[in-house]
Amino acid sequence: MAQQDSGIEIGAFFAGVLIGGLVGAAVALLIAPQSGEETRKQLSKTGEEFRDRAQDIIEDARERAEATVADSRRRAERIIEEARTRAQAITEEARERIEKAAEEARAKGEKAAPETEAPAPSEG
């Protein structure tokens, strides 16, 4: 989540830089002493350059987001696998303890059974 917030902050920063650059370039072109046609060409050229830069920034941000998602997915899969392994170990340990307790109970039952059996009264 922290990486996601950081990515948003970086994107906002670059958006601010891009907008500031556009405004600065537009003001500089409008103040510069040149003809209207030259100014329009210059504005168009600068706009295209900033559009290209923006596309590069967006593509970079998309690639980083995809990498973050892929990394998060790998981490989640690893955590799930570790949990599954631990659950299997706990289940096996519980099964062994139950079997051991059952064997001990059987042994005690067999040991106690001959002691509790009374001789049958004889008829006669």
Note the pLDDT tens digit of each residue in 61-112: 889 889 999 999 999 999 999 999 999 999 999 999 999 999 998 888 888 7
Say which amino acid occupies 64: R
- The CA-atom distances, in angstroms, between 16 and each of 13, 24, 54 are 5, 12, 11
SS3 of residue 42 by DSSP = helix
Strands (E), the chain: none
Residue 116 resides in a domain: no
Residue 113 resides in a domain: no
How many structural domains is the chain composed of? Answer: 1
- Structural domain including 61 reads 9-105
Name the pTM for this structure.
0.46
Residue 38 resides in a domain: yes
Residue 69 resides in a domain: yes
Confirm if 2 and 53 have CB atoms less than 8 A apart: no
Residue 31 resides in a domain: yes
Residue 19 resides in a domain: yes
Residue 91 resides in a domain: yes
Residue 44 resides in a domain: yes
